[in-house]
Amino acid sequence: MKRICLLVLLLILSACQSQEPVNLQDSENTEEVDLGYIEEGEKEYIFEDIESLIDMSQFVVIGVVEKAEDYAVDGTVYNIKLEHVYKGNISDSYINVYEKPQDMTVDQRVILFLEGWESELYSEPLYNALSESILVVENQKVLGKQKFLKNDLDDVKTLLPYIEKKSKESTNSKKIRKVKDRATTENELIELSTYVSVIVPKEISIESSNVKLVNYELVENIKGTLAGSQLFLPPHIKIGQKYKVYLQELDDGNITLTTRYGSVVPVE
């Protein structure tokens, strides 16, 4: 549920290697009309109403934009101070939402309909707003022309209780996949891993402050048979250096590091 213009950025954020295209099931609450929408790859999904938007969201929150910083290619990370979480379980007082520049500005009060995930390459959960769904609140009024929002819900005193009610009724309760920080022993790390391989990075395709998308040469498979030619790896890796990598294949076929720390080890 990511915009095409953010595809490269969000591939970096997800820090995983797709083995097959991701297919989003068509929803009963979508149709191809000029409303708010979600894009996945080259597909477009349309919100008929705020109820379907809430149901499709993993998290619904209200908060204030504290900071906005440039991130990677045509992206901005917005630090949001949360006032209330209507849907989902977020224990932090602040979250980072990755979006396009100018989607939000500092000091804005916003209602956000979010998807989220954790990555072995990031120390905190990552969040992204569903397309065209950011609502700005000013003087108790909801600004913007999102067509999924009915006229009788453009007042905060009406909208927020409605969001809370519909969030409790939502049947979508998908949770963020939890990431393991580190293994206690190498034997545990090997047991947790689908693949253990020795590789040599040859070229960096994409780079950010947290992630490098690396073209690699396979030297040896120690456990499993690693296929493909690219991996998302931490930013400290160096071209030409040999590394032992511990990798897991997720249920959706994506490959990522086994643990947040200790899964990429230099080999002399």
User: pLDDT per residue over 235-255, tens digit each?
Assistant: 999 999 999 999 999 888 889
Dihedral sign for Cα atoms in the order 54, 60, 63, 67? negative
CATH 2.40.50.120 domain locations along the chain:
186-266
| 106-165 per-position pLDDT tens digit | 999 999 999 998 889 888 888 999 877 899 999 888 886 566 777 678 788 899 999 999
Going by pLDDT thresholds of 50, 70 and 90, the confidence category of residue 17 is very low
- What is the rounded radius of gyration, in angstroms, for the C-alpha atoms of the chain? 20
What pLDDT is recorded for position 107?
Answer: 96
Residue 217 pLDDT > 80: yes
Residue 82 pLDDT > 70: yes
What pLDDT is recorded for position 40?
Answer: 37
Residue 222 pLDDT > 90: yes
Whether 212 and 204 have beta carbons less than 8 Å apart is answered as yes
DSSP string, 164-214: HHHHHH------PPPPP---SSHHHHHHH-SEEEEEEEEEEEEE-SS-EEE
CATH class of residue range 4-169: mainly beta
Residue 6 pLDDT > 90: no
What pLDDT is recorded for position 246?
Answer: 98
Dig out the tokens for 108 from the structure: 């804005």
Q: pLDDT higher for 135 or 21?
A: 135
Closest CA to 35 of 148, 122, 111, 113: 148
Closest CA to 14 of 99, 133, 181, 127: 127
CATH of domain 186-266: 2.40.50.120
- Note the Cα 251 to chain centre separation in Å: 17
From residue 137, give the alpha-carbon distance in Å to each of 24, 50, 74, 156. 31, 16, 25, 8
Going by pLDDT thresholds of 50, 70 and 90, the confidence category of residue 54 is very high
What pLDDT is recorded for position 87?
Answer: 95
222 — phi, psi (to 5°)? -95, -40
Assign 36 to helix, strand or coil. Answer: coil
Closest CA to 134 of 105, 174, 171: 105
12 — phi, psi (to 5°)? -65, -45
What pLDDT is recorded for position 146?
Answer: 67
State how far the Cα of 238 lies from the Cα of 199, in Å rounded to an integer.
12
Going by pLDDT thresholds of 50, 70 and 90, the confidence category of residue 7 is very low
What pLDDT is recorded for position 73?
Answer: 64
What pLDDT is recorded for position 42?
Answer: 34
Residues 42-63: what's their mean pLDDT?
79
Closest CA to 237 of 262, 208, 214: 214
State how far the Cα of 128 lies from the Cα of 146, in Å rounded to an integer.
18
Residues 6+ apart with CB under 8 A from 17: 228, 230, 231, 232, 254, 255, 256
CATH 2.40.50.140 domain locations along the chain:
4-169
What pLDDT is recorded for position 14?
Answer: 42
Helices (H), the chain: 7-14, 50-56, 156-169, 186-192
Overall residue count recorded for the chain in this entry: 268
Q: pLDDT higher for 95 or 71?
A: 95
